[in-house]
Copies of this chain bind each other. A is one copy, B any other.
Amino acid sequence: MTHISDLHNQWLENPEYRATYDALEEEFTLATALIEARSRAGLTQGELAERMQTTQSVVARLEGGHVMPTTRTLEKIAKATGSRLKISFEPDAAHT
């Protein structure tokens, strides 16, 4: 069974992949969070799309992590999955 995080760990050993890791991380975690929210709501992509007033292909694209969605889209997802969207900037100890 190939889970996305397995791929993730596997790819970590590829230097070229590591180079772009920072930029991709958010897309990975966001896509994962989205998939989890949809699972929790027990919806198919098509059903979620309907509640978001869009189409299944749009949801697939979002879950594929191929875009950096707007907060407008994130809000629609939250509402459609019975979730509450939370966005925060947490002080990063490592940086400060």
Contact = CB atoms under 8 A, between A and B. Distances in A.
B91 A40 contact: yes
A81 B89 contact: yes
Contacts of A29: 87
| Interface size class of chain A, counting residues whose CB lies under 8 Å from the partner chain | 20 to 34
Given A68-B72, A71-B26, A89 B96 contact: no
Interface in A65-83: 68-72, 74-75, 77-78, 81-83
B75 A84 contact: no
Interface of A: 23, 26-27, 29-30, 33-34, 36-37, 40, 68-72, 74-75, 77-78, 81-92, 95-96
